[in-house]
Chain A
Amino acid sequence: MLEIRDLDFAFGRKPIYRNLNLAIPSGQVVLVTGINGAGKSTLLRLVAGVLKPARGTISLDPRLGRDPRAKIGFISDRLSLYESLRVDQLIRLHLSLFHVEQFDDSLIRHTRIGLRQRIKELSIGQRTILHLALILSPKPDLLLIDEVIHDLDAYLRRLFLDEIIRQLSEREMTVIMVNVNFHDIESLVDRVVMLRDGEIAVDESIESLKQKVKKIVSREEQTRLPVLFQREYSDRREYVVYPFDERSLDGVQGDVVDLNLNDIVAAFIAGEYA
């Protein structure tokens, strides 16, 4: 269990979180999302120990041992690899830093990354996948993923997701992801947390989220629905509704449409900008 209790944090005078509470059981895969500036990346950096809370506590699973930071894999959006090193040198450096016996090359084996290449010769996608391989090689119990996987093409994303799935099936690994592109990670996620103004606006399991967020397409204007976001077309109106409830449909002429995670998050975010 990862537990964040009564957390306050600010950048100078700009408050980011006030009294944030969040508990994540071991082995859960959580997607954290919200508009830009909602504090998503900051949350990961606090959990990773890169930033310190002004008040409150972040307690990591006691099973992570006396040096829990060693069991955290943090894939930050600020990748920095040593440009002039060769790939094999970087791997050796990383292994010795993390006391890992052997580098698991399953992730980079099929990527045309040469061990003798310099880091600066790699493409952005290759650098990212190498970085992921390095982070995953100590077999972290807590994996924090910032938006980096946007840099991967479809093939490298698939390799990366396969590797995450492999590790999830081998041990209990908790994963917290920030705002990654949703279409191919949707079925990996157990839970969705949306941040708004430093607070948790939505915290639902993926299954209940899908039950509670629906699109209603109607010819008439609807005024009694709890609307997150709406759009008008010449012949119809579309309402994304939360929380959806069959009973709230009384007297509503329209069709109810299921949404995927991408549509759901987009509706929440659009609602915030409105």
Chain B
Amino acid sequence: MSPGSRPLELAVDPKSAVPVYEQIKRAIKMDILSGHLSDGDALMSIRELATKLQVNPNTILKSYYQLEVDGFVVSRPGAGYYVRVDRKKFHQERRHSFVRETAEYLSRITEIGYSVQEAISELERQLEIARSKGG
């Protein structure tokens, strides 16, 4: 697959209180953290991604610009945006995402009436199952 042609599995939710540029930024960061995008990969061009998501190109530009400030991508004038991860930022962000995802998970399960203790037991139970399957 040519650089930048990897389809970004991302859809924006206009109803969310999280601004669209922030949703896009987070999704790309997740792609980088999970290794779907790695150093040297091109991001989709602003126009392509704007058309795909049906959002204002300025919004995409804002996401890309912030990713650049955050140390995840670099822009090459005339050539677009490329992934280039600052190792320190990468580990900070990885940790940050882990904490955020965990907090969100806990808030969802407590919302439906389970306790954190029950969550831990369930995690241990699932870990057991995974282990026994893994042999």
Measured in the bound complex, the distance between the Cα atoms of B59 and A189 in whole Å is 10
| Contact in complex: A169, B19 (CB < 8 Å) | no
The number of A-B residue pairs with CB atoms under 8 Å apart is 52
| Contact in complex: B17, A165 (CB < 8 Å) | no
Q: How many of chain A's residues touch chain B, expressed as a range?
A: 20 to 34
Of B12, B14, B16, B58, which is within 8 A of A168 by CB?
B58
Q: Which of A234-274 contact B (CB under 8 A)?
A: 258-261
Q: Is A166 an interface residue (CB 8 A)?
A: yes
Known contacts A211-B17, A260-B14: does B58 contact A166 (CB below 8 Å)?
no
| Contact in complex: A169, B14 (CB < 8 Å) | no
Measured in the bound complex, the distance between the Cα atoms of B12 and A198 in whole Å is 35
Residues of B within 8 Å of A260, CB to CB, are: 14-15
Measured in the bound complex, the distance between the Cα atoms of B21 and A188 in whole Å is 11
Measured in the bound complex, the distance between the Cα atoms of B56 and A184 in whole Å is 12
Q: Is B25 an interface residue (CB 8 A)?
A: no
Measured in the bound complex, the distance between the Cα atoms of B51 and A184 in whole Å is 12
| Contact in complex: A168, B54 (CB < 8 Å) | no
Q: Is A232 an interface residue (CB 8 A)?
A: no
| Contact in complex: A187, B59 (CB < 8 Å) | yes
Q: Which of A212-247 contact B (CB under 8 A)?
A: none
Known contacts A165-B47, A207-B19: does B14 contact A188 (CB below 8 Å)?
no
For A175, give the chain B residue with the smallest CB separation: B56
| Contact in complex: A190, B47 (CB < 8 Å) | no
With a 10 A CB-CB cut-off, give which of B12, B16, B19 has the most chain A CB atoms.
B19
| Contact in complex: A168, B19 (CB < 8 Å) | no
Residues of B within 8 Å of A166, CB to CB, are: 47, 51
Interface string of B70-91 (1 = CB under 8 A from A): 0000000000000000000000
Measured in the bound complex, the distance between the Cα atoms of B55 and A161 in whole Å is 9
| Contact in complex: A29, B56 (CB < 8 Å) | yes
Residues of A within 8 Å of B46, CB to CB, are: 169
For A161, give the chain B residue with the smallest CB separation: B54
| Contact in complex: B56, A258 (CB < 8 Å) | no
| Contact in complex: B16, A169 (CB < 8 Å) | no
Q: Is A210 an interface residue (CB 8 A)?
A: yes
Known contacts A187-B20, A207-B19: does B14 contact A165 (CB below 8 Å)?
no
| Contact in complex: B51, A187 (CB < 8 Å) | no
Residues of A within 8 Å of B16, CB to CB, are: 258
A-B contact pairs, 12 of them (CB 8 A): A29-B58, A169-B57, A170-B47, A187-B20, A187-B54, A188-B55, A190-B58, A210-B17, A211-B17, A258-B15, A258-B16, A260-B15
**A-B residue pairs, 5 tightest by C-beta:** A169-B57, A187-B55, A169-B47, A260-B15, A186-B14
